[in-house]
Amino acid sequence: MKSIILSSKLIIVLFSALVISAFSCGNSGSTGSSNKDSSQTAANTPPPQKKASISSLLTEQQFNELFPQRDKFYTYAAFVKAADELGQISIKVTRRALSVYQYIRTDKKTGKPQIVRQDPDWNENWAKQKPDSTFAVDYGNFCSQFGAEANKKELAAFFAHIAHETRHGENATYTDGLMLIHESNTALTYIAESDEYPPVAGKKYYGRGPMQLSYNGNYGLASNCIFGDPKILLNNPDLVETDPVVAFKAAIYFWMTPETHKPSAHDVMTGKWQPNAVDKAKGRTPGFGMTINIVNGEVECNKGDNMYNMNDRIGFYQFFLKKMGLTDANCACSCGKMEPYKY
User: Is residue 193 annotated as part of the catalytic site, yes or no?
Assistant: no
Rounded to whole angstroms, how far apart are CA atoms 44 and 198? 43
Residue pair 96/128 in contact (Cβ under 8 Å)? The answer is: yes
Half-sphere exposure at residue 256, Cβ-oriented, CA atoms within 13 angstroms: 27
- Rounded-to-integer distance, Cα 333 and Cα 319, Å: 13
> Quick check: 181 and 73 in contact, CB under 8 A?
yes
Which CA distances in Å does 71 have to 76, 128, 153, 172, 212?
12, 50, 24, 19, 15
Inter-CA distances, 291 with 25, 71, 195, 228, 297, Å: 13, 25, 29, 27, 9
C-alpha 92, offset from chain centre: 16
- Pairing outcome for strands 112-118 and 89-96: unpaired
Q: How many CB atoms lie within 10 A of CB 12?
A: 25
Question: Choosing from 165, 241, 259, 300, which is the catalytic residue?
Answer: 165
Look at residue 69 and give its three-state secondary structure: coil
Kindly write down the DSSP assignment for every residue of 30-58, as one continuous string. Answer: -BSGGGTTSPPBPTTPPPPPPP--HHHH-
Residue 9 CA to residue 184 CA, distance in Å, equals: 12
Closest alpha carbon to 73 in 247, 238, 249, 222: 247
What residues act catalytically?
165
